[in-house]
Amino acid sequence: MDRLTALRLFLRVAETGSFSRAAAEAGVGQSVASRAVATLESELGGRLMNRTTRSLALTEAGRKVVDHARAMVAEAEAMEAVVRGADREPAGLLRVSASVAFTRAELAPQAGAFLAAFPRMRLDLMARDDRIDLIAEGVDVALRLGELEDSRLTALWLGNYPRVVVAAPGFEKAHGAVTAPGDLAARPAISLTSSAFATRWPLASGRAKVEVEINPAIRTANGDVLADLARGGLGAVLAPGFLVKADLEAGRLVRLLPDWSAPPLGLWAVWHGRSLPRKTRVFLDFIAARLGVD
């Protein structure tokens, strides 16, 4: 087995935590994947993984080798792409992680156009609301909103989404007109459980700033549910633009206090490693041009 093939198998074993899964993805037997790692260990003169019947974990040396292996594989793939001419037409599977609400609102509507523009590409839209481990899940790029936490990842800022206060069209008739931010304190509200603004909405209009304390009747951890509840007339919500854009355009929701907004919500693309593979860069360029960010 050549060194590059062994490195590829080692990387997938390290990323998935499973010899069988790495072997299945590569279309080889589990013994081949195991032999690839053993060969690397023999050539490098040290153990890369500690194995038991139930689990495996990278050694300190193994963690260092992962970064070098990833760079070597990426460089080799780049050279192969040039030879094949694939640098002009990216190909292969791209795993993209994002929240369910963001995937539905921003990524899914663009998937068809992207695949039409790049027919040799395939997408795995990993729509999940939990913060997953990019390496363990084999994610190529994640689109994350708000503050970033993991400094091991390389990040690219794509823009900001405005945060606006919206409600169902009949909300003010049912609960009273909202003519100033302070009126919201006495109106039904719905908030995102994980949001920093779950109970306080900081609003600004020009130089004027105010923080409104709300008492949400309902909280939810899911953006789509938040929008569903707002459309049902159960309360006003402070939501990022991408989540309510279609509803505002269709008249299913209306903006309250249109001159006021909250601090914008940043959108970041994050990935592991320093370099950005061409297929990932092509996807980000395509999507970024079509997002509703400022």
Cα–Cα distance measured from residue 163 to residue 181, given in angstroms and rounded to the nearest whole number = 14
Shortest CA distance to 98 belongs to which of 72, 73, 132? 132
Q: What is the arithmetic mean of pLDDT over 101-119?
A: 94
Q: State whether 141 and 227 are in the same domain.
A: no
Q: What is the arithmetic mean of pLDDT over 156-168?
A: 93
CA dist list (Å): 98 to 58, 125, 139, 141, 269: 27, 8, 10, 9, 10
Final residue of a structural domain among 55, 84, 113: 84
pLDDT tens track for 226-243: 999 999 999 999 999 999
Q: State whether 174 and 139 are in the same domain.
A: no
pTM above 0.85, yes or no: no
The boundaries of the domain holding residue 28 are 3-84
Whether 86 has a pLDDT exceeding 60, the answer reads no
Longest dimension (CA), the chain: 75
Q: Is residue 294 part of a domain?
A: no
Q: State whether 25 and 72 are in the same domain.
A: yes
Helices (H), the chain: 3-16, 19-26, 30-44, 60-84, 100-102, 108-117, 134-137, 171-175, 223-231, 241-250, 278-288
Residue 205 pairs with which residues in a beta bridge? Answer: 208
pLDDT of residue 146: 85
Q: Domains in the chain: how many in total?
A: 3
CATH number, residue 153: 3.40.190.10
Residue 261 has what DSSP assignment? B
Cα–Cα distance measured from residue 124 to residue 103, given in angstroms and rounded to the nearest whole number = 11
Final residue of a structural domain among 27, 62, 84: 84
Residue 177: strand, helix, or coil: coil
Q: Is residue 256 part of a domain?
A: yes
Burial of 283 (0-12, 13-18, 19+ CB in 10 A): buried
